[in-house]
Amino acid sequence: MVTATRSREAREAPGTQKTQRVTAADVVRLRAVAGEVPDPEIPVLTLDDLGIVRDLAVAAEGRVEVILTPTYTGCPATAVIAADVERALHAAGADVVVVRTVLAPAWTTDWMSDAGREKLRAYGIAPPGACGDALADGAAGGRRPVALALTARCPRCGSTRTREISRFGSTPCKALWSCRDCAEPFDSFKAI
- The last residue of a domain, from among 52, 71, 101: 101
* Domain around 78: 2-101
pLDDT, tens digit, 9 for 90 and up, residues 46-92: 999 999 999 999 987 889 999 999 998 888 899 999 999 999 999 99
Q: Give the C-alpha separation, 10 to 2, whole Å.
A: 17
Asked if 71 and 174 touch (Cβ cutoff 8 Å), the reply is: no
Do 16 and 84 reside in the same domain of the chain?
A: yes
Radius of gyration of the chain (CA): 20
Query: Which residues does 100 contact at the CB level (< 8 Å), separation at least 6?
Result: 65, 66, 67, 68
Tally of domains within the chain: 2
The domain spanning residue 54 has which CATH number?
3.30.300.130
pLDDT at position 2 is: 33
Read off the pLDDT band of 142 (50, 70, 90): low
- The last residue of a domain, from among 58, 76, 101: 101
Indicate whether this model's pTM tops 0.85.
no
pLDDT at position 19 is: 45
